[in-house]
């Protein structure tokens, strides 16, 4: 059996030629010669037909498979078992398809890796085409600006600065800009770095959301300014009185006594401010460990009330407690922090309630999970417009009045942070003229053997 195509064609020609020669050697009858010629013609035609068929069918198959490969169906194969040149061609096509398949799989895996990296980034990323239309984005950008593919950077981020930076990068110049924009409800501040892609095919932009950093920076600067201002006031007063004393007032016993009294008063204020600042930094510092353990609420409330009995008595304010008599309640708390929370709230009640009023602490279980501690007073109350801000550091409704009663403006900020560090929350309800109620909600703890 002849295997190569060339051998087959050659064989067929040789066969027909041999038949012709034999015919011409042994046969003289012209009819037989004509008949033999016709026969040779038919035989040649038949062989040509068979050969053509054995060629066109595998060629058509190869054409079908290469068309499928071109269309992206990299799974198709010829798997030919022919041993001629067409079989060899089919096997080459299969090997080429294997190589394309492997390269495509590698590219897909690289693309998946790239996508995972892009989506894991905190920064928002986009890549544009040479017209400046966004073609690739990552999850962070989608969270920030929604789906933006096909839009220009300025349409997506709405920032003229970014628009300019993208324009510059399309022209081949990389740049870094800080942009302020409003995406969704909140204004955002983004640090953007925009660079051209190789061959000026577009640009790549990386946007880092620095809103919280900037906010923290502003809060810190405000805090330093406020604290310095608060510290300067009593210090200036102390210095002023001391200088007046040194200038001669010390020899006037009445003046000297009065000025020394004022110096003492301002040093107490200074001391209170420094104590509160330290307390606040303790409440906010992640390095300070809060040991949460079951604390007996009744004991904690009784201790805080005892500590404020004197100042309440001076203003003829009745201190009361409700809900302590029943089942003993325990909260998950740091005993010292809980004491600060209660003292600050009861102390505020006493400070901001006119003489003869009442400050009451109520304790109750809120289901099996929580305990609620309420500190209610019968004072003048707080206007609605101030309520959302009173937990801010140094925020006072009436600064003059607050200073007069010895307030530092830090008490409620300390309360808020301590409560949060204990896994709880604090809220306030107040109506002008009807008094104020602070509600501290802490996690309920099971009675421990130590606490029992
Ligand atoms: P301060 O040391 O000035 O009392 P706080 O942070 O404790 O600071 O309170 C902030 C402000 O909230 C106070 O200056 C006061 O105006 C208001 N405030 C707090 N507690 C009460 C209350 N029980 N009744 C009325 N106003 C209150």
Query: Which domains, ranges and CATH numbers included, belong to the chain?
Result: 2-99 (no CATH), 121-209 (3.30.450.20), 215-284 (1.10.287.130), 293-445 (3.30.565.10)
Q: What residue's CA is closest to ligand 1, atom 24?
A: 352
Residue located nearest, by CA, to atom 7 of ligand 1: 411
Which secondary-structure segment (H or E) carries 108?
helix 85-120
Ligand 1, residues 308, 311, 343, 348: which to mutate, most atoms within 8 A of Cβ?
A: 348
How many Å apart are CA 184 and CA 224, to the nearest integer? 32
Long-range contacts of 399-406 (CB under 8 A, 24+ apart): 403/269, 405/351, 405/352, 406/268, 406/269, 406/272, 406/351
Q: Which atom of ligand 1 is nearest to the CA of 276?
A: 2
Strand partners, 295: 331
- Reported as a single tens digit per residue, the pLDDT across 389-420 is 999 999 988 877 777 777 889 999 999 999 99
C-alpha atoms less than 13 angstroms from C-alpha of 387 in its C-beta half-sphere: 16
Q: What is the pLDDT of residue 451?
A: 45
Helix (H, G, I), strand (E, B) or coil at 138: coil
Residue 356 near residue 433, CB atoms below 8 Å: no
Burial class (CB in 10 A: 0-12, 13-18, 19+), 22: exposed
Give the span between the Cα atoms of 430 and 378, in whole angstroms: 10
* Rg of the chain in Å (alpha carbons): 46
Binned at pLDDT 50, 70 and 90, residue 452 comes out as: very low
Q: Which pLDDT value is given to residue 175?
A: 94
Residue, of 264 and 36, whose pLDDT is higher: 264
Calculate how far, in angstroms, residue 397's C-alpha sits from the geometric centre of ligand 1.
7
pLDDT for residue 168: 94
Q: Is the pLDDT of residue 286 over 50?
A: yes
How many Å apart are CA 186 and CA 354, to the nearest integer? 41
Q: Cα separation of 13 and 18, whole Å?
A: 9
The pLDDT, as a whole number, for residue 324 is 86
How does residue 326 score in pLDDT terms, banded at 50, 70 and 90?
confident
Residue 450 has pLDDT above 60, yes or no: no
Q: Residue 139: its pLDDT value, please?
A: 95
CA atoms within 13 Å, Cβ hemisphere of 298: 12
Q: What are the DSSP calls for 348-373, one per residue?
A: HHHHTS-TT-EEEEEEEEETTTEEEE
The model's pLDDT over 292-304, given as tens digits with 9 standing for 90+, comes to 999 999 999 999 9
Nearest atom in ligand 1 to the alpha carbon of residue 409 is 8
Pocket of ligand 1 (CB under 6 A): 348-349, 352, 377, 379, 382, 390, 395-398, 402, 407-413, 436
On average, the pLDDT of the chain sits at: 90
Q: What distance in angstroms lies between residue 214's CA and the mean position of ligand 1's atoms?
A: 28
Average pLDDT over residues 267-274: 94
Instruction: Give residue-wise pLDDT tens across range 115-143.
Output: 999 999 999 999 999 999 999 999 999 99
Which tens digit of pLDDT belongs to each residue from 42-101? 877 888 888 788 788 888 888 898 999 888 888 889 898 888 888 888 899 999 999 989
The answer on pLDDT for 226 being more than 50 is: yes
């Amino acid at each position: 059996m002849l295997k190569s195509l060339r051998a087959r064609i050659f064989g067929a020609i040789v066969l027909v030629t041999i038949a012709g020669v034999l015919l011409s050697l042994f046969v003289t009858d012209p009819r037989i010669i004509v008949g033999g010629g016709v026969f040779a013609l038919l035989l040649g035609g038949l062989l040509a037909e068979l050969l053509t068929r054995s060629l066109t069918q595998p060629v058509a198959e190869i054409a079908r498979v290469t068309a499928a490969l071109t269309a992206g169906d990299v799974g198709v194969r010829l798997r030919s078992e022919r041993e001629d040149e067409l079989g060899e061609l089919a096997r080459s096509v299969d090997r080429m398809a294997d190589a394309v398949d492997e390269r495509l799989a590698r590219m897909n895996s690289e693309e998946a890796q790239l996508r995972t990296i892009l989506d894991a980034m905190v920064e928002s990323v986009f890549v544009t085409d040479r017209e400046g239309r966004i073609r690739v984005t990552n999850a962070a950008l989608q969270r920030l600006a929604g789906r933006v593919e096909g839009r220009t950077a300025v349409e997506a981020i709405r920032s003229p600065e970014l628009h300019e930076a993208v324009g510059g990068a399309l022209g081949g110049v990389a740049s870094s800009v800080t942009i302020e924009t409003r995406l969704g409800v909140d204004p955002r501040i983004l640090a953007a770095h925009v660079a051209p892609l190789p061959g000026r095919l577009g640009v790549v932009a990386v946007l880092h959301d620095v809103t919280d950093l900037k906010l923290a920076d502003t809060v810190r600067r405000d805090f330093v300014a406020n604290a310095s201002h608060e510290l300067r006031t009593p210090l200036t007063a102390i210095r002023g009185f001391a200088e007046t004393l040194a200038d001669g007032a010390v020899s006037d016993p009445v003046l000297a006594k009065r000025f020394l009294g004022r110096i003492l008063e301002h040093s107490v204020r200074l001391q209170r401010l420094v104590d509160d600042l330290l307390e606040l930094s303790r409440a906010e510092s992640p390095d300070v460990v809060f040991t949460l353990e079951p604390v007996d609420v009744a004991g904690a409330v009784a201790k805080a009330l005892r500590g404020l009995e004197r100042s309440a008595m001076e203003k003829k304010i009745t201190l009361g407690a409700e809900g302590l008599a029943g089942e003993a309640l325990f909260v998950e708390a740091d005993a010292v922090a809980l004491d600060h929370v209660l003292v600050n709230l009861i102390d505020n009640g006493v400070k901001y309630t006119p003489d003869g009023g009442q400050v009451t602490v109520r304790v109750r279980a809120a289901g099996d999970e929580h305990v609620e501690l309420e500190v209610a007073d019968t004072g003048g109350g707080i206007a609605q417009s101030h309520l959302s801000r009173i937990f801010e550091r140094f925020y006072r409704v009436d600064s003059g009045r607050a200073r007069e009663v010895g307030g530092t403006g830090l008490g409620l900020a300390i309360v808020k942070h301590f409560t949060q560090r204990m896994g709880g929350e604090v809220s306030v309800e107040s109506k002008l003229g009807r008094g104020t109620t602070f509600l501290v909600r802490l996690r309920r703890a099971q009675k421990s053997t130590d606490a029992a």
